[in-house]
Amino acid sequence: MSRKQVSLVNIFISSFIAFMALFILGPLIWLAVHAFATSWTYPNLLPDGFTFTWWKTIAGDQELVKSVKNSLLISPIVVLISAVVCLPAAYAFSRYQFFGRKSFLIGMFAANAFPKIGLYASIATLYYTLNLMGTIVGVIIIQLLGTIIFMTWIPAAAFGSVPRNLEDAARDAGASKLRTFWDITFRLALPGILVAMVMSFLASFDEAQGTYLVGVPTIYTMPTKMYALVLNYPVQIAAVFSLLLAIPSVLLISIARKHIIGGQLADGFQIK
Amino acid sequence: MSNSTGSGGLELQGLKKILGGRVIIDDLNLTVNKGEMVSLLGPSGCGKTTTLRMIAGFLIPDAGRVVLAGNDVTNTGPEKRPSAMVFQNYALWPHMSVYKNVAYPLKLRKMNKSEITKRVHNVLELVNLMHHKDSRPSQISGGEQQRVALARALVQEPDVLLLDEPLSNLDAKLRVKVREDIRDLQRRLGITTVIVTHDQDEALSISDRIAVMNGGRIEQFSSPQELYDRPATEYVANFIGSLNHLTGDYSNGRVTVGTKTIGIRPEDVHFTSTNESNGFEATVDHVVPRGHFSEVYLKREDAELRAFMSTNIPAVGEKGYAVIKKALIYENGKLLKVE
Amino acid sequence: MDKTNSINNQESFAVNKTAKLSWFGFFMALPPVLVIICFVGAPILIAAGLSLGFTGGPNRIIALIGQEISTKTHWWGTLDGYKSVINDPRFGGDLRVTLGVTVVATTIVIFMALGMAIYRRVIGGRLATILVSLSLIPLFVPVVISAFAIRTFYDGTGFVKSLLTHFGIDFPTLTMTNSAIAIGTIWTSLPFAILMISSGLQAIPDALIESAQDAGASFIRIIYTIMVPLAFVPIVIATTFTAIGIMGSFTIPYFLGPNQPAMLGVEITNFFNSYNRPQQSVVMAFVIFGAASLIAIFYVWANLRSAKQSGRI
């Protein structure tokens, strides 16, 4: 490429990045500013004034605080249960050949392709029979469903990519099968498992439709509360609540970002 | 070389292994004496790695016994065998430092900390890697990784050291050096060693004895010199060193009409301008310089012979006499005689 | 020679064989499968029953409460539920919007992701890293927030309209239009598509690209003869997951879309909650499921093809 072409490409790339920054970050920043705005006059690009009143309002609203607590309680439980249920399966998928293995994998995918909303009528029926309506257990199960794909596929790929000779070397060094699993296999698959946990946490933390159907009016989580807020409160309250809702996600990015970009997530989505 | 039973060494008795419905190893017998270094040599697929994995305990033989240092370990898991292995691509644990890699086997043996430190330091000094003890495997060179793998095996003070193609991932220069280092260490520690390789140079230069494998069996098990001078089968003769092939009968340096296979090492073919001793007429067809010697292709109307010569290299087209100093005569693949 | 070769295969088979037929593995793999069978499989079956007019058993109560429920007339049920949905003039509009938004948004997402991933693979550098990191942000933002943020950004008093007013441009209010749904779904779908495609492209060895350059292939030609074919499976996965996700989405169209016609994900909820017509709601879910299954077949085919090519099966 000539020098002129290079600089043209650079100009194009730079303006594309500017566009993407506006496209991706614009809405988030616009919303974040609302959380501190007294009021806003159209078409000004800045609010009329800044305030922390909206934060105090939320801190004082018992129901909103309760929904925060619910979310922070339920999501970790969901991730934990999901890990217990799915991680052994992930290991099995990566290391054993068994009857129905491929059907299991494809079945999991198919289950994910059915719009969840279409299930809720039947799930509601099932829940009435099992007495799960309006219970924490009911909400946990609903949220668990959205995490299974992440918690099975991503760790399965991670276990699968641990070289067998590293395990052999540990056995040769005198480690039992179990010890080898903990010291080598699990340890090396940990980034993948971490990514799976982050994705599962976010899936659970964000789940709104199912939780709404099963939990409301007894159990509100942050996202289900958000639906109500958007319709019934000033924009600023919803903005504050959005920021609160985004905190766990932002924290988790910093932990797992490297591994997610590193391909752990992508590896999980190929059937092997 | 003494032929005593390898008490304290390694004995494989009638090993058989079937994988995927096919026989990989069939009735394999091998005795390695204590302190001896033995190569399993053969092309890829001859079953040498399978044999090594049975010695290490990763595969359980379908028949036969593995005896290590006088104990039958045929059905013992790899973690309980007194053997230590250096893997082909080293299999260093990427999440542990060099020190931790080497210390791991000792930690599993529940040794106390100061003892572990002492032994790890000793062995790291032995392989000259003390300065890298806190590095990660990914931060050091291939040759250094190889030495870490060796240290991790040696620190276990195993009865038998197993090396799986230990040099195949190193570049040519380093290979010769590391090969000498391994041989030197092995001699100093007097450790019984089995090394798997497909490289005849490596096997010839490093081993006390070599087992040449073919199709899951041992074709010949003898010292490097014996292997070269008297290859027991045509297969071994072809595999070790270079060979000219002729069909016929052989006597007194002359090839006559016949059905036997005659193998002649290129260095046993001499080319002279005058017929001194029973040679036959030949013309120099072409010459390939190979550094410290030259490969001379000699032609007659019905045959071609290669000769390795280091002095008095003839010119192309020169006529003269080819003299055969030594020939290996095979019938049905087996060595009949050496003349 | 022949013999040596065949033995060679056996040996590598023996050493590399990572899996064994095992009941142990089967039972380890069972728990998540059971959860799915109980809480997704069974409900799907019950829902299928309802859509076909099986109003007894687990569907008894819902059939009692719901309105306009057709009951089965044959042993296999009835298609009246499906007919009533198809004959509803609203449904045609909803379906068109759903498929339209899915096709448009998926196409844009995949092309944007391809472009950025190719840029990162071929040129790389700091700008590429910034670009990719930027595009991954939506992955970590809860959908509810994304929907709400995009809604405020593009609505009648939003940033876009405010900014352009200062330049004297009367920009249309996008919120409550199908364009807003497309913008929202692109926003939320981009990260996954980029992750998939970029990791696929990064895995292509430099040598393959350089040898094509060496052979005189142009940049464009390298893209469609080397890079895209080699990253085919990740691209298919990205496409199918994006399309399936968009087709069944609820939150984005609920917050950003018009009331009429709406995407089917929203209509399913409306019919179930607001209109109390659960049978029609379930029928629509199966329409989406049917379309998603067609896409899913493509996904499975691509995966199996790559498994065959690399000799895994």
User: pLDDT, tens digit, for every residue of B233-243?
Assistant: 988 988 888 88
Same domain, C175 and C256: yes
Same domain, A138 and A253: yes
For strands B83-86 and B160-164, give the pairing.
parallel
How far is residue B65's CA from residue B69's CA, in Å, rounded to a whole number?
A: 13
Same domain, C117 and C194: yes
pLDDT at C13: 32
Supply the DSSP symbol for C171.
P
CB burial string A90-112: b at 16+ within 10 A, e below: bbbbbbbbbeebbebbbbbbbbb
The nearest alpha carbon in chain C to B49 belongs to C11
Beta-bridge mates of residue B296: B287, B307
Q: How many CB atoms lie within 10 A of CB A65?
A: 12
At B198, list the tokens. 């497909």
pLDDT at A62: 85
Question: Does the N-terminal peptide bond of residue C142 adopt cis geometry, omega within 30 degrees of 0?
Answer: no
Q: What's the whole-number mean pLDDT along residues A114-142?
A: 81
Q: Which of A30, A51, A72 is the endpoint of a domain?
A: A51
Judged by average pLDDT, the poorest of A202-206, B2-6, B204-208, C301-305 is B2-6
pLDDT at C20: 52
Same domain, C181 and C59: no
Give yes or no for B14 touching A (CB within 8 A): no
Q: Which helix (H) or strand (E) holds B30?
A: strand B22-32
How far is residue C85's CA from residue B310's CA, in Å, rounded to a whole number?
A: 94
Same domain, C151 and C265: yes
Nearest to B43 by CA among B194, B196, B182: B196
3-state secondary structure A39-96: CCCCCCCCCCCECCHHHHHHHHCHHHHHHHHHHHHHHHHHHHHHHHHHHHHHHHHHHC
> Residues of B with CB below 8 A from C17's CB?
20
Cβ pair B93:A163 closer than 8 A? no
Q: Give the pLDDT band (50/70/90) at residue C14.
A: very low
Whether C81 is covered by a domain: the verdict is no
Provide CB contacts within 8 A for B83, sequence distance 6+: A172, B55, B56, B57, B68, B158, B159, B160, B161, B162
- What total number of domains does chain C contain? 2
Helices (H), chain B: 48-56, 98-108, 113-126, 142-154, 172-189, 200-206, 224-229, 234-239
By percentage, how much of chain C surpasses pLDDT 70?
91
Same domain, C258 and C170: yes
What pTM was computed for the model?
A: 0.80
Q: Please check whether residue A190 is in contact with residue A262, taking contact to mean a CB–CB distance below 8 angstroms.
A: no
Q: In terms of pLDDT, which residue wins out, B58 or C296?
A: B58
Same domain, C58 and C131: no
Same domain, C123 and C259: yes
CB burial string C24-34: b at 16+ within 10 A, e below: ebbebbbbbbe
Q: Is the pLDDT of residue A181 over 70?
A: yes
Whether C70 is covered by a domain: the verdict is no
Same domain, C125 and C6: no
Whether A133 is covered by a domain: the verdict is yes
> Residues of A with CB below 8 A from C189's CB?
none
Chain B: closest CA distance from residue C6 (Å):
8
Chain C: closest CA distance from residue B300 (Å):
29
Same domain, C60 and C93: no
Q: Give the pLDDT band (50/70/90) at residue A264.
A: low
CATH code assigned at A253? 1.10.3720.10
> Residues of A with CB below 8 A from B95's CB?
187-188
pLDDT at C310: 58
Same domain, C143 and C24: no
Give yes or no for B109 touching A (CB within 8 A): yes
Phi-psi sector, B338: left (phi>0), alpha (psi -120 to 50), beta: beta
Same domain, C303 and C255: yes
pLDDT at C130: 85
Chain A: closest CA distance from residue C1 (Å):
29
| Residue position matching structure tokens 């000219």 | B244
Whether C73 is covered by a domain: the verdict is no
Same domain, A173 and A196: yes
CA count, 13 A, side-chain hemisphere, B286: 2
Q: What's the whole-number mean pLDDT along residues C88-111?
A: 90
Q: Which domain holds residue C235?
A: 88-310
Q: Residues of B numbered 145-184 whose beta carbons fall under 8 angstroms of chain A's beta carbons: which are they?
A: 152, 156
Q: In terms of pLDDT, which residue wins out, A123 or C6?
A: A123
Whether A56 is covered by a domain: the verdict is no
Q: Which helix (H) or strand (E) holds C189?
A: helix C178-202
- Chains touching A by CB (3 or more pairs below 8 Å): B, C
Mutation pick from A122, A249, A267 vs chain C, by most beta carbons of C within 10 Å, is A122
Mutation pick from C144, C241, C266 vs chain A, by most beta carbons of A within 10 Å, is C144
Note the pLDDT tens digit of each residue in B54-94.
Answer: 999 999 999 999 998 888 999 888 888 899 999 988 899 99
Report the alpha-carbon angle B188-B189-B193, nearest 5.
110
Dihedrals phi, psi of B265, to nearest 5 degrees: -65, 135
Whether C80 is covered by a domain: the verdict is no
- Chains touching C by CB (3 or more pairs below 8 Å): A, B
Q: Which domain holds residue A204?
A: 64-269
Q: What's the whole-number mean pLDDT along residues A37-56?
A: 81
Got the DSSP string for B267-292?
A: GGEEEESS--SS-EEEEEEEEEE-SS
Q: Is the pLDDT of residue C1 over 50?
A: no
Chain B: closest CA distance from residue A81 (Å):
28
The nearest alpha carbon in chain B to A175 belongs to B79
Q: What's the whole-number mean pLDDT along residues C146-153?
A: 89
Amino acid making up residue A59: A
Give yes or no for B52 touching C (CB within 8 A): no
Chain B: closest CA distance from residue C16 (Å):
12
Q: Is the pLDDT of residue A271 over 70?
A: no
Whether C79 is covered by a domain: the verdict is no
Whether A82 is covered by a domain: the verdict is yes
pLDDT at B5: 46
Same domain, A82 and A210: yes
Same domain, A32 and A99: no
Q: Is the pLDDT of residue C292 over 60?
A: yes
Beta-bridge mates of residue B84: B161
Q: Is B247 helix (H, G, I), strand (E, B) or coil?
A: strand
The nearest alpha carbon in chain B to A164 belongs to B91
Q: Which of C31, C65, C99 is the endpoint of a domain?
A: C65
How far is residue A266's CA from residue C291's CA, in Å, rounded to a whole number?
A: 24
Q: What's the whole-number mean pLDDT along residues A145-162?
A: 88
Note the pLDDT tens digit of each residue in A60-111.
Answer: 888 888 888 899 999 999 999 999 999 999 999 888 888 888 788 777 877 7
Same domain, A68 and A45: no
Amino acid making up residue B61: P
Q: What's the whole-number mean pLDDT along residues C173-186?
A: 87
Cβ pair B56:A179 closer than 8 A? no
Q: Give the pLDDT band (50/70/90) at residue C8.
A: very low
Whether A100 is covered by a domain: the verdict is yes
Q: Please check whether residue C69 is in contact with residue C61, taking contact to mean a CB–CB distance below 8 angstroms.
A: no
Helices (H), chain A: 3-34, 53-60, 62-95, 101-113, 116-130, 136-160, 164-172, 177-180, 187-206, 209-215, 222-232, 235-261, 264-267
Q: Give the pLDDT band (50/70/90) at residue C11.
A: very low
At A36, list the tokens. 């501190």
Cβ pair A117:C132 closer than 8 A? no
CA C200, C203, C205, C210 dihedral sign is positive
CA count, 13 A, side-chain hemisphere, A267: 25
- Using alpha carbons, list the distances in angstroms from residue C71 to A6, A118, B124, C86: 68, 19, 81, 17
Whether A253 is covered by a domain: the verdict is yes
pLDDT at C21: 65
Cα torsion for A136, A141, A146, A149, to the nearest 10°?
Answer: 140
Whether A257 is covered by a domain: the verdict is yes
Supply the DSSP symbol for C173.
P
Same domain, A89 and A125: yes
Chain C: closest CA distance from residue B267 (Å):
27
Q: Residues of B numbered 214-243 whose beta carbons fall under 8 angstroms of chain C's beta carbons: which are they?
A: 214-216
Q: How many CB atoms lie within 10 A of CB B122?
A: 13
ipTM score for this prediction: 0.83
Q: What's the whole-number mean pLDDT along residues A167-180?
A: 91
pLDDT at C313: 44
The nearest alpha carbon in chain A to B155 belongs to A173
Cβ pair C187:A23 closer than 8 A? yes
CB burial string A12-50: b at 16+ within 10 A, e below: ebeebbeebeebbebbbebbbbbbbbeebeeeeeebeee
- What total number of domains does chain A contain? 2
Whether C76 is covered by a domain: the verdict is no
Q: What's the whole-number mean pLDDT along residues C222-229?
A: 85
Starting from the edge strand earliest in sequence, which strands make up the sheet with B71-72, in order? Answer: B22-32, B10-19, B63-68, B71-72
How far is residue C180's CA from residue C182's CA, in Å, rounded to a whole number?
A: 5
Q: Is the pLDDT of residue A223 over 80?
A: yes
Q: Give the pLDDT band (50/70/90) at residue A270.
A: low
At B5, list the tokens. 């039973």
Q: Which of A13, A30, A51 is the endpoint of a domain?
A: A51
Judged by average pLDDT, the poorest of A79-83, B298-302, C86-90, C204-208 is B298-302
Give yes or no for B290 touching A (CB within 8 A): no
Q: Which residues of chain B have pLDDT under 50?
A: 1-6
Facing residue for A173 by CB, picked from B88, B89, B108: B108
Whether C75 is covered by a domain: the verdict is no
Cβ pair C15:B50 closer than 8 A? yes
Judged by average pLDDT, the poorest of B92-101, C143-152, C198-207 is C198-207
Facing residue for C4 by CB, picked from B43, B50, B53: B43
Note the pLDDT tens digit of each residue in C251-280.
Answer: 889 888 888 788 888 888 888 777 878 888
Cβ pair B58:A171 closer than 8 A? yes
CATH code assigned at C162? 1.10.3720.10
Cβ pair B85:A175 closer than 8 A? no
Length of chain C: 313
Same domain, A7 and A98: no
How many Cβ pairs closer than 8 A exist between chain A and C?
300
The nearest alpha carbon in chain B to C6 belongs to B45
Q: Give the pLDDT band (50/70/90) at residue C182.
A: very high
How far is residue C283's CA from residue C280's CA, in Å, rounded to a whole number?
A: 5
Dihedrals phi, psi of B41, to nearest 5 degrees: -115, 135
Chain C: closest CA distance from residue A263 (Å):
6
How far is residue A158's CA from residue A142's CA, in Å, rounded to a whole number?
A: 26
By percentage, how much of chain B surpasses pLDDT 90?
30
pLDDT at C2: 35
Whether C83 is covered by a domain: the verdict is no
Same domain, C31 and C147: no
The nearest alpha carbon in chain B to C3 belongs to B215
At B309, list the tokens. 């010569």
